[in-house]
Amino acid sequence: MELHLHRTYFKEGTNGALFHHGIFMGFAIELPWLENQKMKSCIPEGVYTLKARYSEKFNHHLILENVPGRNLILIHPANDAKKELLGCIAPVTFLSGIGKGTASKPLLQKLVSLCYQAFDRKEIVTLTIKS
């Protein structure tokens, strides 16, 4: 299964649109591009494998594998990239500004459900990030 994230970069943050089979799912917010600096920048464009992850803090969410020079890059809920993200990706239902959005948890639940169903079918799930 393939997901696509189409990014638009701004000095203050990165906004994106998430697609599954060419169908718009919602938006994503991230930190600005700062040369892939750990905990300060969004990650490089590319194709990443997604895996299921669970933590007390975020419950069921997703992790990206093989991010160059980075680890623990998650897809988890957040509504303000600069205040709540350290290089991760947050799905949001609505954009409210650059690197800001609302209703993150409902879109994350939809995304997690879609991906976990694919995992149950033993499918490889990838996220292609591009501008």
Give the residues across from 14 on adjacent strands. 9, 30
Q: What is the reported pLDDT for 53?
A: 98
Alpha-carbon distances of 45 from 18, 84, 120, 129, rounded to whole Å: 14, 21, 27, 5
Task: Give the start-to-end residue ranges of the domains of the chain.
Answer: 2-130
Q: In terms of residues, how long is the chain?
A: 131
- pLDDT truncated to tens, each residue of the chain (131 aa)? 999 999 999 999 999 999 999 999 999 999 999 999 999 999 999 999 999 999 999 999 999 999 999 999 999 999 999 999 999 999 999 999 999 999 999 999 999 999 999 999 999 999 999 99
d(CA 48, CA 131): 15
Q: What are phi and psi of 71, to 5 degrees?
A: -145, 165
| CA 130 remoteness from chain centre | 12
pLDDT at residue 13 in the model: 98
